[in-house]
Amino acid sequence: MLPSKPLNLFLILTVTINLCSAELPSFREAPAFRNGRECPKTAWSSLDKKIHNPSIIHIAMTLDTAYLRGSIAGVFSVLHHASCPENIVFHFITTHRRGAELTRAITSTFPYLNFHLYHFDINLVKGKISSSIRRALDQPLNYARMYLADLLPAGVRRIIYFDSDLIVVDDVMKLWSINLGSHVLGAPEYCHANFTNYFTSKFWSNPVFAASFRGRSRNPCYFNTGVMVIDLWKWREGKYTEKLENWMRIQKRYRIYELGSLPPFLLVFAGDVEGMEHRWNQHGLGGDNLEGLCRALHPGPVSLLHWSGKGKPWLRIDSKKPCPLDSLWAPYDLFRHPSLFSDS
């Protein structure tokens, strides 16, 4: 009988090979979305190194096989509600070796989409990631949002970052037009959340760590990193990627938090964020990170629905156990079910 360790390694390799060779989902082609008459006629090229065109909306999302269905729905929702959809440029970040297949999936679903694909080198974070309370939070691509300023062309001054488990139900131009003032980053803040819960007792008992929030423009508040507006020029000038990486190294040594890529953002930016209306991130619809139970909307208007947490709408719908709010995501699902392959 083979020893257990080689057997476990064999099983891991087998699962990995199967995942890499699995066929990507098939999607229906989205309709063509055209600009309204009020939209400025403009174009963008990645060769424009220093030219910032405020009429072009830049959106960054990660792209992988596990969340591809969610990414497709997110893109569709943005285009569907945009007043100037032809002025939107998507920047997709991927670590997958199947970049060519992912590109084909996007082009076949959105033939008229203006997008660019970037490869994220997982070696940048490979030795810096610490295990968290949910395995999905430990994936290298979850940390790609820290490296947008390095990945994207220098001509992209501002970027909207979206997670792959959300839909937009309002004109994204409203989000793009938010004034960041002197801030590097804008996001909805939730100051009622107990901020101390996002860090371990080792963090708060260390006077050097605990003092890291002093000197901020105001009291630090929790914000969700699944929806952010970022000034990439200010980010580069302030070397914020290096600051985030520094906290990741400290985490590896002292274990000061449990929640993946979120705490470093809180450590660097909380208290210096340009607050936005909560309507732009109705988050937590995927429940908590352990059970993913159904949740209701927060009070107030809604411009963006975000299934952060363990429960994802496409998985719950396929398992015939959807939550009530998953029905709001379903109309943007372009997944071509096997039983519908013969349909036009």
Question: What's the chain's length in residues?
Answer: 344
User: Does the residue 307 lie in any domain?
Assistant: no
| Residues 246-257: b if buried by 16+ CB within 10 A, e if exposed | ebbebbeeeebb
Q: CATH number for the domain including 276?
A: 3.90.550.10
Using DSSP's 3-state secondary structure scheme, residue 306 falls into strand
User: Does the residue 341 lie in any domain?
Assistant: no
Residue (of 175, 150, 171, 174) closest to 161 by Cα position: 175
pLDDT of residue 49: 60
Using DSSP's 3-state secondary structure scheme, residue 213 falls into helix
User: Does the residue 171 lie in any domain?
Assistant: yes
User: Does the residue 20 lie in any domain?
Assistant: no
Using DSSP's 3-state secondary structure scheme, residue 37 falls into coil
Query: How many other β-carbons are positioned within 10 Å of the β-carbon of residue 12?
Result: 10
> Residue 343 corresponds to which amino acid?
D
Find tokens 């062309």 and name the residue: 153
Radius of gyration from C-alpha coordinates of the chain:
20
Do 294 and 312 contact (CB within 8 A), yes or no?
no
Domain count, the chain: 1
User: Does the residue 151 lie in any domain?
Assistant: yes
DSSP of 169-210: -S-HHHHHT---TT-SEEEEEETTS-GGGGS-HHHHTSHHHH
Do 93 and 120 contact (CB within 8 A), yes or no?
yes
Query: How many other β-carbons are positioned within 10 Å of the β-carbon of residue 221?
Result: 18
pLDDT of residue 42: 86
Query: How many other β-carbons are positioned within 10 Å of the β-carbon of residue 305?
Result: 22
User: Does the residue 253 lie in any domain?
Assistant: yes
Tokens of 342: 């013969």
By residue range, what is the domain housing residue 235? 57-284
pLDDT along the chain (344 residues), means of 10: 42 42 87 94 74 90 95 98 97 89 96 96 89 73 96 94 98 97 97 89 94 85 96 97 96 90 95 96 90 89 96 95 96 84 47
Enter the DSSP assignment of 160. E
pLDDT of residue 21: 55
User: Does the residue 9 lie in any domain?
Assistant: no
User: Does the residue 338 lie in any domain?
Assistant: no
pLDDT of residue 50: 64
